[in-house]
Amino acid sequence: MESVVHRAVLRASSSLSVRRQATRPHQKLQPLRLACALHSSASKEATPVHHHTVPGPPPQAPRAAVSSAQERVARKRHQADLLKKGKELRTNPEKPTSILKKRFWKDVLVKDTPEGLQVHLDTRPVRLASRQVLNLPHHKRALAASIAAEWDQLVSAQQALKHHYIPLTSLTSRAVDIEAADHANDPAIRDAMARVLMRYLATDTLLCWAPERNIHDPTPEGKKTLRQLQREAAEPITGFLTTQVFPGVEIRPILDADSIIPAKQPEATRSVIEAWLRNLPAFELAALERAVLATKSLLVASRLIVEWSPSFASIQQLNGRQPFGVEEAAKAATMEVMHQIAQWGEVEDSHDVEYQDVRRQLGSVVLLVS
């Protein structure tokens, strides 16, 4: 009982002290009011960040992608299947363009005609962009068979509108266009091609040799430097060209051992090479253009054309010369890339694709001229 009375007395005394403070002057209540204002907002608890707030297990540490050739092929086939299914889902039969997404022919065959070899889709001959029927010389049966195989692999008519699906057909069409311009005495195509191709001689891949010493690319003891490898690949090609194709001309390396400033070829060398390529037959000129674009080398392309074209049969019959095919041309043009791969490794889906693509394009050049 006494404790209850004691608590009541304390509450009464505290309320009395508050009333007394309210009757005091205003300036004495200001600190109290300021303190109440500073602490009037409700407090909030901080939300801790735990690993439980992120759903799922933690990600695995990154690892280098090491896969076999079979795994890469299987993955690419799976991606191709997904792409094909996506195209089929986008096909709308109500649209007029949907007819291009189907293949309207069943069989592809090569026919002998008085005009030449023709590739037929069932009964329709393959035509060029100018609506002209594609006629090939009778001695180019391998080229005709390759074009037929190219069309036989298409799954829709729409693919025939894209050059990368029919590279041999587009390359042959380029040769036919040059031939038609020659018959019409129109030098515009040859002049434009000569100007473009001669630009590659100033930065020819075969003549751009690496410095003799490179602190960023140390060569192990007992192995040849990149410059030595490039020189060994270039000298047989330039020696053959300067004795058999461009006799008497001088072909200089573009970069010296300790210089990054390119050196120009003599004016006489440029004049002889330009006159030679301007006088090439139509099929050889189209093939030279394709080979230059693939290798970035006018000299490697010229060496390949001379090796396989019947127009240079007298040179091909020389005894003691080394054969020069697609593999030799590709190695000479990609010597630096192959050296870097040997030093640092191959980039998947980049170096391996480029390796095959260069050989594919050079193979089309051999088929066109042989």
Residue 16 domain flag: no
Shared domain check, 287 and 159: no
The three-point CA angle 342-348-350 to 5° equals 90
Residue 78 domain flag: no
Shared domain check, 117 and 260: no
Residue 299 domain flag: yes
Tokens standing for residue 182 = 């020659």
What pTM was computed for the model?
0.71
Distance of alpha carbon 174 from alpha carbon 155, whole angstroms: 24
3 state DSSP class of 124: strand
Distance of alpha carbon 349 from alpha carbon 356, whole angstroms: 11
Residue 72 domain flag: no
Q: How many domains, the chain?
A: 2
Residue length, the chain?
A: 370
Residue whose structure tokens are 């791969």: 341
Residue 120 domain flag: yes
Shared domain check, 192 and 161: no
Distance of alpha carbon 265 from alpha carbon 337, whole angstroms: 25
Domain of 154: which CATH number? 3.30.2180.10
Shared domain check, 317 and 231: yes
Containing structural domain, residue 272: 186-369
Burial of 1 (0-12, 13-18, 19+ CB in 10 A): exposed
Domain of 335: which CATH number? 1.10.3580.10
pLDDT by position in tens, the chain (length 370): 545 445 554 555 555 454 444 444 444 444 444 444 444 556 666 555 554 455 667 777 766 555 677 787 888 888 888 887 766 655 555 555 555 667 888 899 999 999 999 999 998 999 888 888 999 999 999 999 999 999 998 888 888 888 888 999 999 999 999 999 999 999 999 999 999 999 999 999 999 888 877 766 666 677 888 888 889 999 999 999 999 999 989 999 887 767 777 788 999 999 999 999 999 999 999 999 999 999 999 999 999 999 999 999 888 876 566 789 999 999 999 998 888 888 888 888 888 889 899 999 999 999 999 8
Shared domain check, 332 and 202: yes
Shared domain check, 365 and 217: yes
